[in-house]
Amino acid sequence: MSMEKLSTGIEGLDELLNGGIPKGHVVAVVGSFGTGKTTFGMQFLYEGLKNGEKGMFFSLEEDVESILETARSFGWDLQSYMENNMLSIIKSDPGQAGEALRRIDEMKKVIEQFGVQRFVLDSASLLEMTFDSRQEARMKLFEMARMVKSAGATGIFTAEADTTNPDYSRDGIVEYTADGVIRLTYEISGGEVQLSVRVVKMRRTSHSRTRKPYEITDSGIVVKTQSEVF
């Protein structure tokens, strides 16, 4: 039996994923500042919206208008999807988000009632900071991932990379709660910034582990699968 996959909407990335993200997975997108994590989440939601899939963007960083403005800069009219009840954008400060996670069943009910099929949390790193211990943060993130999946949605959790080791998230927690991990990194060579992406893991499906360069263009992220990282 073949596994149903959802297109990320990111040119080239679906090729690395052998068709897209498996439906019902929660995937961590880990990267340093400026690597396009938020853009990745919006592009994933927009692809679903174009295909009639309802989305929810749970933001702990940017406010709603900033998210809409960023989307417009890429040519994505998220405002109209909000007006048509296809998209919900929720802005919460980390403290409030932590309290919301303590009422996980209520969040699940909201997602189910809205009919969310694609869910983005931006970012898990800020959420982790609201808990008293690493163990509690890990448990609550695991519960949130389980809640998203049990509600029938496919999720993207963005996370900040560790400044000393960009191959891992800042707290090293989100990787263990997710079904898949995609790492966005950058290197400076000759005064130029080179961005690269690698699918580190994706449970229950084959995928490429090759690191490939990508660009953040006027129409979103584009992975250059025919090029190599130097």
Whether 228 is covered by a domain: the verdict is: no
Average the pLDDT over 9-26 and give the result: 97
pTM as predicted:
0.94
Whether 50 is covered by a domain: the verdict is: yes
Q: For residue 44, which of 206, 225, 221 has the smallest C-alpha distance?
A: 221
Lowest mean pLDDT among 39-43, 131-135, 142-146: 131-135
Whether 63 is covered by a domain: the verdict is: yes
- 107 vs 196, higher pLDDT: 196
Q: Which domain holds residue 135?
A: 5-223
Helix axes 134-150, 104-114, angle to 10 degrees: 30
Whether 75 is covered by a domain: the verdict is: yes
Give residue-wise pLDDT tens across range 175-199. Answer: 989 999 999 999 887 778 899 999 9
Give residue-wise pLDDT tens across range 206-221. Answer: 999 999 999 999 999 9
Residue 57's CATH number? 3.40.50.300
Q: For residue 55, which of 14, 16, 6 has the smallest C-alpha distance?
A: 6
The two tokens of residue 15 are 């090729």
Distance CA 147, CA 149 (A): 5
pLDDT of residue 97 exceeding 80: no
pLDDT of residue 166 exceeding 90: no
Whether 68 is covered by a domain: the verdict is: yes
Q: How many domains does the chain have?
A: 1
Whether 28 is covered by a domain: the verdict is: yes
For residue 83, count other CB atoms closer than 10 A to its CB: 10
List the beta bridge partners of residue 202: 180
Q: For residue 179, which of 3, 12, 9, 50 has the smallest C-alpha distance?
A: 3
Whether 230 is covered by a domain: the verdict is: no
pLDDT of residue 1 exceeding 60: no
pLDDT, residue 168, reads 85
pLDDT, residue 165, reads 83
